[in-house]
């Protein structure tokens, strides 16, 4: 029974990793851009929420609603002034620019908030739990997992039910022909990054409420997110959920054996999946 | 009034010059065919009009407005729609979505909408939910034409519609042109298939090595002249004007 | 300039010959530098030399081989840890242990390449990073060399190091200063071998093949350049060199921990910015880049985080507005080439093409 409990905890942890990964997957799917600053933006988002909660005394869930449009605008502007200029066939420019961003964001946070660990406080929510019969789980992890599913459902709706979603897919297929349809591809990319930043903000809320954070932990979140995306297969949101869950379960199982093995077992699971299925579990044709 | 007025158009791909001073006019409701061998600059011409390639503003005028320096997403809403070479359907979109996205930059009421496109090409209605990759070449071309028509354009640019299609399919597709023209749209057709081009057009330009070498009404142009304009080194001449 | 050099068979220019002579004189001078400068200057020079080697190897990978790795810290880390392990566990003398460090990095590069070569582009980059993380986490479990907290080099090993006694006598310095001098010389040898070796490689037929691999993998395969083999060679050679450098760096530091030895910022981020700011895809670029980094560090290191913010911003700025770096701007203006090699299309040409397509 202890193993069932462990696996359930792992699945729920996977919900958090799925949230980390969804923004990355969205941006990659549309513009083939891997944002190396993605993890640092999550931490940045957590500090934005922290400021709203501690300085303005807002409820975390209200703070995240305020942070969302701000983060959307930030992503939009970032894409227009910087990232659109480096998208293209060459690999190096986007990697280096986002790597530079990663260093800048980390150190701006360090300068502004020091290296002290912080936490977004949500009173009783942090300790609340429910008994599912087979296992007792925290309300917060459950909420995280539910949010991950909700985010994916909403993104799927946007992608496959709206005119904007058609424009996303068309631009991803062929930007030149998309522009012949009157689609402003720069704008489409900026909206995509904006939406990714909204997802980043949601993941930042749960990251900050579940555990303490500091300016240096972004790169590790990027790696988990990246592993989930690759395991799932590029461009598949539901695949990303499966990838996130695999990493989560592997980490929790590893930690159950030896606490020092938690992170390592996640990486090992990733490497094993990739050796067996080089294109991930649910590869999309043409990607 | 000239819908489209192209004067002394030059175009470059990087350092490579593809057009050397091309003059072309298109009147309202007129269909103009542009013929020429591979590499004559026909596609470059269309890409310049559509805004995929940028030029000096004054080189291309749409309804007397200089548009040469505008980008494709700016020109399309003004009523210029393109059927690109190789069809270029969006693979991630279904047939119907490919048609719908044609109105993304310009959504005006007019003769063309999903229903009338399905009337024009009934087979597309049957296939409306399948992925565009599951269609035959001819059906794909129909989607590409329908997609361009969906915005009810003033000018329709068609690049190599017949490319890679069987003669019988080409005939079917060109059979739709009278109905398309009847809606009052001006059309520019770029073709290597000369007979189809001559049959549907009101005026013909023949291009070679980035220049117009011959132009005139189809009825006034003889086969030999076209042959010379294609392969020979005739100076630019107007026939029967 | 690119047009003419594209077809030229001659590689030497008059400037490059003069430069070559100056370079030889400079190296000879560098050998005697420990007698002339203070210990802190020598440590600065050591920093410059080791970062230069790391930068040259990363440039070989990314600039010539098209393999953008952000996991080079794996090789610095494993090189330095096997170096320490050999000294502490097997009693190897530190100087030959450096070589073991390099060989360990080479050995680690084989499974990493096997794994990471399945990934393309950006995914290759993060894939190498994951491998470095895995290596760090495993090494942190290695209790005999201090586990997660690390360890110091035993006093005996420092004393008995080959050459240190002789150096101490000749220069009349204490053992710790002698260690700096020895490390400096090792770094100097490594710099000369690295730059010489890379220059030689790029001038051979294989080197030309490298540029082909970078520019177009499929095309390179179709004309018979063994692209896959070339990628392996470049990756393994870079790993070996990076591992040697890691060992030498920690020979000088004499204290190691997993977080420091596998630091992404120290061994990959800095290196990356050196190459990009200096000018990627050239031998001259990393040399200029390392001097820029050193200058920035001397001026701003006291400001800690601001220094790193400035560095990150400079990298972004260069990538956006001068993607060929400082050396690229210099060659554009002057046509200067100090390490002439026949080159294919330069990046500036690619940018022109891009501008043409951008309208679409």
Task: Output the 3-class SS for chain A.
Answer: CHHHHHHHHHHHHHHHHHHHHHHHHHHHHHHCCCCCCHHHHHHHHHHHHHHHHHHHCCCHHHHHHHHHHHHHHHHHHHHHHCHHHCCCCCCHHHHHHHHHHHHHHHHHHHHHHCCCCECCCCHHHHCCEEECCCCEEEHHHHHHHHHHHHHHHHHHHHHHHCHHHHHHHHHHHCHHHHHHCCCCHHHHHHHHHHHHHHHHHHHHHHHHHHCCECHHHHHHHHHHHHHHHHHHCCCCHHHHHHHHHHHHHHHHHHHHHCHHHHHHHHHHHHHHHHHHCCCCCCCCCCC
Position C1 confidence tier, pLDDT thresholds 50, 70, 90: very low
- Does some domain include residue A85? yes
Between chains, do C359 and B15 touch, taking CB under 8 Å as contact?
no
Tokens of C156: 């005996």
Q: Which residues of A touch C264 (CB under 8 A)?
A: 219
pLDDT at C230: 81
Chain mean position to CA A199:
7
SS3 B9: strand
Q: Which CATH homologous superfamily contains domain B2-239? A: P-loop containing nucleotide triphosphate hydrolases (3.40.50.300)
Whole-number average pLDDT of chain C: 84
Which positions ≥6 away from C210 have C-beta within 8 Å?
C64, C65, C201, C202, C230, C234
Q: Structural domain boundaries of chain B?
A: 2-239
| CA–CA gap between residue B45 and residue B25 (Å, rounded) | 12
Give the whole-angstrom CA distance, residue A163 versus residue C179: 68
Residue in B closest to A186 by C-alpha: B73
A240 within some domain: no
Interchain pair B105, A182: CB under 8 A: yes
Contact call for residues A256 and A51 (beta carbons, < 8 A) = no
Sorting pLDDT into bands at 50, 70 and 90, what band is A285? low
In this prediction, residue C189 has a pLDDT band, given cuts at 50, 70 and 90, of: very high
- How far separated are the first and last CA of chain C, in Å rounded? 29
Beta strand pairing status for B65-66 and B60-62? antiparallel
Q: Can you give the pLDDT at residue A32?
A: 85
* pLDDT surpasses 70 at C4: no
Residue B104 contacts C where some CB pair is shorter than 8 Å: no
A17 vs A276, which has greater pLDDT? Answer: A17
CB A250 within 8 A of CB A10: yes
Residues in A 91-150 with any Cβ partner in C closer than 8 A = 91-97, 99-104, 106-108, 110-111
Best-predicted range by mean pLDDT among C117-131, C153-167, C254-268?
Answer: C254-268
Binding partners of A (≥3 Cβ pairs within 8 A): B, C
Question: Beta strand B203-208 with B211-216: parallel, antiparallel or unpaired?
Answer: antiparallel
- Residue C232's closest CA among C56, C67, C78, C68? C67
The boundaries of the domain holding residue A123 are 23-216
* Residues in a beta bridge with B236: none
Is residue B224's pLDDT more than 80?
no
Q: Provide the token pair at C328.
A: 């690229």
Chain B nearest CA to A178, separation (Å)? 8
- Number of domains present in the structure of chain A: 1
CA–CA distance, A83 with A73 (Å, rounded to integer)? 14
Closest to A81 measured CA to CA, from C345, C316, B218, B47: C316
Residues on chain A touching C58 (C-beta within 8 angstroms): none
- Give pLDDT tens digits for C196-227: 999 888 887 767 666 665 555 555 555 455 67
Q: Do B147 and A174 touch (CB under 8 A)?
A: no
* Residues of chain A neighbouring C62 (CB-CB closer than 8 A): 92
3-class DSSP string for C293-345: HHHHHHHHHHHCHHHHHHHHHHHHHHHHHCCCHHHHHHHHHHCCCCCCCCCCC
- The CA distance from C149 to B195, in Å, is 82
Residue A231 lies in a domain: no
Residue C280 scores a pLDDT above 50: yes
- Tell me which of B240 and C50 has the higher pLDDT: C50
C-chain residue closest to A221, CA distance: C130
Q: In this complex, do C141 and A110 lie within 8 Å of one another by their Cβ atoms? A: no
Query: How far C27 CA sits from the closest chain B CA (Å)?
Result: 44
Mean pLDDT, range C328-349, rounded to an integer: 65
Q: Which residue from A96, A97, A107 is facing C309, i.e. has the nearest CB?
A: A107
β-strand partners of B27: B2
Q: Which of B25, B196, C215, B99 is nearest to A166 (CA)?
A: B99
**pLDDT on residue C218:** 53
**What b-and-e string marks burial along C333-360, b requiring 16 or more CB atoms within 10 Å of the CB?**
eeebbbbbbbbeebbeebbeeeebeebb
Does the structure show a pLDDT above 80 at A157?
A: yes
Q: Does C134 touch chain A (CB under 8 A)?
A: yes
What pLDDT shows up at residue C339? 78
Nearest-CA distance A167 → chain C (Å): 15
CB pairs under 8 A between A and B: 66
Chain B environment of A180 (Cβ under 8 Å): 50, 52, 72, 76, 81-82, 84
Identify the pLDDT of residue C11: 59
CA distance C3 to chain B (A): 12
**Chain centre distance of CA C117:** 21
C304: pLDDT confidence band, cut at 50, 70 and 90?
confident
CB contact, 8 Å: B13 with chain C? yes
Measured CA distances, C81 to C22, C184, C242 (Å): 37, 20, 13
The token pair at C254 is: 């004499």
Is residue A268 assigned to a domain? no
Using CB atoms, which residue from A173, A181, A185 is nearest to B76?
Answer: A181
Confidence of residue B120 (pLDDT cuts 50, 70, 90): very high
Between C56-60, C215-219, C308-312, the lowest mean confidence (pLDDT) is in C215-219
- Of A101, A179, A264, nearest to C316 by CB-CB distance is A101
DSSP assignment, residue B94?
B
CA distance linking residue A241 with residue A237, whole number of Å: 7
- Quick check: A165 contacting C, CB < 8 Å? no
- Supply the DSSP symbol for C65: T
Mean pLDDT of A146-166: 95
Give CA A279 to chain center in angstroms.
20
Q: Do B81 and A180 touch (CB under 8 A)?
A: yes
Q: What is the mean pLDDT of residues B102-124?
A: 94
Cα–Cα distance, A168 to A160 (Å, whole number): 10
Which range is most confident: A188-192, B168-172, C25-29, C348-352? A188-192
Judged by a CB distance cut-off of 8 A, whether residue B17 touches chain C is no
pLDDT bin (cut points 50, 70, 90) of residue C337 is: confident
Given an 8 Å threshold on Cβ–Cβ distance, is B52 in contact with C360?
Answer: yes
Identify which of A34, A96, A107 has the shortest CB distance to residue C126.
A34
Q: State the best of B12, B14, B46 to mutate against chain C, taking most chain C CBs within 10 Å.
A: B14
Is the sign of the CA dihedral A251, A252, A253, A258 positive or negative? positive
Residue A205 lies in a domain: yes
User: Rounded to whole angstroms, how far apart are CA atoms C339 and C359?
Assistant: 37
DSSP annotation of B57? G
In chain C the domains, ranked by start, together with CATH numbers, are 2-349 (1.10.3470)
State yes or no: pLDDT of C348 exceeds 70. Answer: no
Whether A147 is covered by a domain: the verdict is yes
pLDDT score for C5:
42
Between A3 and A199, name the one with better pLDDT.
A199
CB pairs under 8 A between B and C: 19
Rounded distance, CA A253 to CA A87, Å? 39
Q: What pLDDT, in 10s, does the model give residues A227-247? A: 999 998 877 899 999 999 999
For C11, which DSSP code?
-
Distance in angstroms (rounded) separating the CA atoms of residues C248 and C99: 9
Contacts of A271 in chain C (CB under 8 A): 115, 130, 134
Strands B155-159, B2-13: pairing kind: unpaired
Residue A226 is assigned to a structural domain of this protein:
no
Adjacent-strand bridge partners of B6: B24, B60
pLDDT (mean) for B29-54: 91
> pLDDT of B138-182, one tens digit each?
999 999 999 999 999 999 999 999 888 999 999 989 999 999 998
What are C157's two structure tokens?
């090993």
Confidence at residue C211, expressed as pLDDT on a 0 to 100 scale: 63
User: Is pLDDT above 50 for C350?
Assistant: no
Beta bridge partners of B66: B61
CA A142, A143, A148, A151 dihedral sign is positive
**Is pLDDT of A60 > 90?**
yes
Pure H helices in chain B: 42-50, 72-75, 95-100, 114-120, 122-126, 137-149, 167-174, 177-182, 194-200, 223-231
| Residue from the list C68, C119, C140 with its beta carbon closest to the beta carbon of A95 | C68
d(C-alpha C283, C-alpha C19), whole Å: 14
B95, HSE (Cβ side, Cα atoms, 13 Å): 24
Instruction: Say yes or no to pLDDT of C164 above 70.
Output: yes
Looking at residue A239, its pLDDT comes to: 92
pLDDT at C252 over 60: yes
pLDDT at position C8 is: 42
> Which of A166, A176, A184 shows the shortest C-beta gap to B101?
A166
| pLDDT reported for residue C201 | 85
Is C347 or C45 the better-scoring residue by pLDDT? C45
Angle at A185 between CA A182 and CA A191, to 5 degrees: 115
Please indicate, yes or no, if residue A282 is contained in any of the structural domains: no
Contact A286 B91 (CB under 8 A): yes
What tokens does B72 get?
């494709």
Residue-level pLDDT at C12:
62
**Are residues C62 and A92, on separate chains, in Cβ contact within 8 Å?**
yes
């Amino acid at each position: 029974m202890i193993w069932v409990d462990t696996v359930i905890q792992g699945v729920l942890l996977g919900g958090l990793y799925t949230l980390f990964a969804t923004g990355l997957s969205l941006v990659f799917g549309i513009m083939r851009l891997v944002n190396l600053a993605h993890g640092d933006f999550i931490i940045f988002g957590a500090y934005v929420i922290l400021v709203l909660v501690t300085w303005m005394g807002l409820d975390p869930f209200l703070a995240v609603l305020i942070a969302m449009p701000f983060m959307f605008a930030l992503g939009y502007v970032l894409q227009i002034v910087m990232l659109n200029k480096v998208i293209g066939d060459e690999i190096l420019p986007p990697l280096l620019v986002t790597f530079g961003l990663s260093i800048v964001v980390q150190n701006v946070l360090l300068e502004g908030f020091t290296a002290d660990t912080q936490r977004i406080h949500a009173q009783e929510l942090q300790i609340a739990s429910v008994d599912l019969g087979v296992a007792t789980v925290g309300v917060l992890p459950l909420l995280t997992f539910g949010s991950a599913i909700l985010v994916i459902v909403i993104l799927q709706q946007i992608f496959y039910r709206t005119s904007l979603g058609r424009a996303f897919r068309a631009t991803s297929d062929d930007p030149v022909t998309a522009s012949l349809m009157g689609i402003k591809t720069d704008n489409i990319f900026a909206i995509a990054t904006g939406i990714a930043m909204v997802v980043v903000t949601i993941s930042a809320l749960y990251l900050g409420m579940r555990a303490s954070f500091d300016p240096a932990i972004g790169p590790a979140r990027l790696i988990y997110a990246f592993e989930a995306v690759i395991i799932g297969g590029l461009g598949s949101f539901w695949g990303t959920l499966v990838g996130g869950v695999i990493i989560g379960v592997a980490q929790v199982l590893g930690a159950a054996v030896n606490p020092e093995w938690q992170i390592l077992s996640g990486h090992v699971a990733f490497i094993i999946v990739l050796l067996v299925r080089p294109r991930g579990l649910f590869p999309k044709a043409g990607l | 009034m000239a819908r489209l007025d192209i004067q002394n158009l030059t175009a470059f791909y990087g350092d490579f010059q593809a057009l050397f001073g091309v003059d072309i006019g298109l009147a309202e409701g007129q269909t103009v065919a542009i013929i020429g061998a591979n590499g004559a600059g026909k596609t470059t011409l269309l890409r310049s009009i559509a805004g995929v390639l940028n030029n000096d503003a004054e080189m291309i005028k749409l309804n007397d407005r200089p548009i040469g320096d505008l980008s494709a997403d700016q020109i399309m809403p003004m009523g210029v729609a393109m059927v690109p070479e190789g069809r270029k359907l969006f693979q991630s979109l279904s047939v119907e979505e490919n048609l719908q996205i044609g109105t993304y930059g310009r959504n005006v009421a007019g003769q063309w909408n999903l229903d009338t496109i399905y009337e024009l090409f009934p087979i597309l209605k049957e296939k409306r939910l399948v992925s565009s990759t599951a269609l035959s070449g001819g059906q794909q071309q129909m989607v590409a034409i329908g997609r361009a028509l969906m915005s009810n354009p003033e000018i329709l640019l068609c690049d190599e519609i017949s490319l890679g299609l069987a003669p019988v399919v080409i005939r079917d597709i060109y059979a739709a042109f009278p109905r398309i023209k009847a809606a009052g749209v001006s059309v520019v057709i770029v073709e290597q298939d000369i007979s189809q081009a001559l049959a549907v057009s009101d005026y013909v330009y023949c291009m070679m090595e980035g220049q117009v070498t011959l132009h005139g009404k189809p009825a006034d142009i003889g086969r030999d002249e076209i042959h010379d304009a294609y392969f020979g080194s005739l100076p630019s001449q107007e026939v029967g004007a | 300039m690119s047009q003419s050099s594209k077809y030229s068979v001659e590689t030497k220019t008059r400037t490059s010959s003069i430069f070559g002579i100056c370079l030889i004189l400079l190296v000879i001078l560098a050998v005697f530098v420990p007698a002339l400068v203070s210990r802190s200057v020598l440590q600065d020079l050591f920093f410059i030399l080791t970062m230069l080697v790391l930068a040259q190897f990363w440039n070989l990978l990314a600039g010539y081989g098209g393999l953008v790795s952000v996991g080079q810290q794996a090789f610095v880390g494993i090189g330095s840890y096997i170096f320490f392990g050999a000294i502490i566990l097997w009693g190897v003398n530190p100087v030959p242990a450096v070589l073991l460090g390099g060989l360990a990095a080479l050995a680690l590069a084989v499974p990493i390449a096997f794994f990471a070569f399945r990934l393309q582009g950006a995914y290759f980059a993060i894939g190498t990073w994951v491998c470095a993380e895995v290596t760090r986490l495993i090494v942190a479990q290695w209790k005999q060399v201090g586990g997660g907290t690390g360890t110091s080099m035993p006093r005996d090993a420092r004393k008995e190091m080959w050459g240190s006694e002789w150096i101490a006598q000749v220069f009349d310095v204490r053992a710790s200063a002698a260690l700096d001098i020895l490390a400096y010389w090792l770094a100097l040898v490594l710099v000369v071998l690295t730059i010489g070796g890379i220059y030689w490689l790029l001038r051979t037929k294989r080197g030309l093949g490298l540029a082909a691999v970078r520019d177009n993998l499929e095309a390179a395969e179709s004309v018979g350049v063994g692209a896959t083999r070339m990628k392996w060679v470049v990756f393994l050679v870079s790993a070996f060199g990076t591992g040697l450098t890691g060992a030498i760096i920690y020979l000088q530091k004499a204290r190691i921990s997993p977080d420091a030895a596998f630091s992404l910022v120290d061994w990959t981020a800095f290196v990356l910015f050196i190459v990009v700011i200096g000018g990627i895809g050239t031998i001259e670029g990393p040399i200029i880049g390392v001097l820029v980094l050193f200058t920035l560090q001397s001026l701003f290191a006291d400001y800690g985080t601001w220094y790193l913010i400035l560095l990150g911003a400079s990298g972004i700025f260069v990538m956006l507005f001068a993607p060929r770096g400082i050396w690229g701007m210099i060659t554009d203006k002057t046509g200067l080439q100090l390490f002439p090699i026949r080159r294919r299309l330069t990046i500036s040409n690619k940018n022109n093409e891009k501008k043409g397509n951008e309208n679409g």
